[in-house]
Amino acid sequence: MSQLRIEHISKWFGRQQVLHDISFTFQPGQVNMIIGPSGCGKTVLLKCIVGLITPEAGRVFFGNVDFLQANPESRRMILQNLGMLFQSSALFDSMTVEENVAFPLRVFTQQSESEIRERVAYCLERVGLAGTQEKYPAQISGGMKRRVGLARAIALNPKYLFCDEPNSGLDPLTARRIDELIQELTEEFETTTVVVTHDLKSVVDMGQRILFLYEGRSEWQGDKTDMLRDPHALPANLRAFLEASGLMRDW
């Protein structure tokens, strides 16, 4: 699998700097997590990586290709290998579930309608939503919308899967199911998965490689096992973040 890495990413909005010189390597075939308190720059960093926001400084490499400097054709090839689950699911209200999941297939491929319908059916079955093709977003629950968004994200069988707060606003059981699906799909398709979250339960359940942001800076990075082995040896801000979650009571 092609490695994903970022080098010295910095971002300003007006006079406010929201990201400060962030570098990190995301491991293929693993659930990589960007964690930290609300407002620390997690989603801004994710949007910089996938090209929704352009940073003032830094580089983003998909394999050996510098995504931010790539020509349009190279960028298109990268985007074709990228799946995105947005925090709000970002489904098209006027489209059916089938049409939503089929959208990237129609944009990026030349598949026939029968091939598209077959792929959509497989993706929906994979996330536990077989038979929902004709429903509209308004007719399904929040957890189902999130799973439709996940089905759309994997429709192109991407090498890279990005998830922005995938279980926010969901009840605990549904949230855990979304986490399980992301982990299963990462292993099944051997994707480089990047998850933005402030949910420490998700970190414990499925996280592997961790980047902790605080006030737009990279304060700690490493493997989950290193983080859990001795939380009291971690930087103060990360330790306070873990303590606020209540999880340190178990250690």
- Where do the structural domains in the chain lie, given as residue ranges? 1-81+160-169+189-251
Global pTM exceeds 0.85: yes
Which pLDDT does position 250 carry in this prediction? Answer: 52
Give the H or E element holding residue 150: helix 142-153
Cα separation of 97 and 145, whole Å?
Answer: 9
User: What's the confidence (pLDDT) of residue 19?
Assistant: 98
Burial of 225 (0-12, 13-18, 19+ CB in 10 A): exposed
- List the 57-62 sheet strands across, edge first: 16-26, 4-13, 57-62, 65-66
pLDDT at 52: 93
Q: Which two tokens stand for residue 18?
A: 């929201």
How would you classify the pairing of strands 65-66 and 57-62? Answer: antiparallel
Q: What is the CATH number of domain 1-81+160-169+189-251?
A: 3.40.50.300
Number of Cβ within 10 Å of residue 145's Cβ equals 19
Q: CB-based burial of residue 17 (10 Å sphere; 0-12 exposed, 13-18 middle, 19+ buried)?
A: middle
Q: For every one of its 251 residues, what pLDDT tens digit does the chain have, with 9 covering 90 and above?
A: 478 999 999 999 999 999 999 999 999 999 999 999 889 999 999 999 999 999 999 999 999 999 999 999 999 999 999 999 988 788 999 999 999 999 999 998 999 999 999 999 999 999 999 999 999 999 999 999 999 999 999 999 999 999 999 988 888 888 888 899 899 989 988 999 999 998 888 888 898 999 999 999 999 999 999 888 888 889 999 998 888 876 555 55
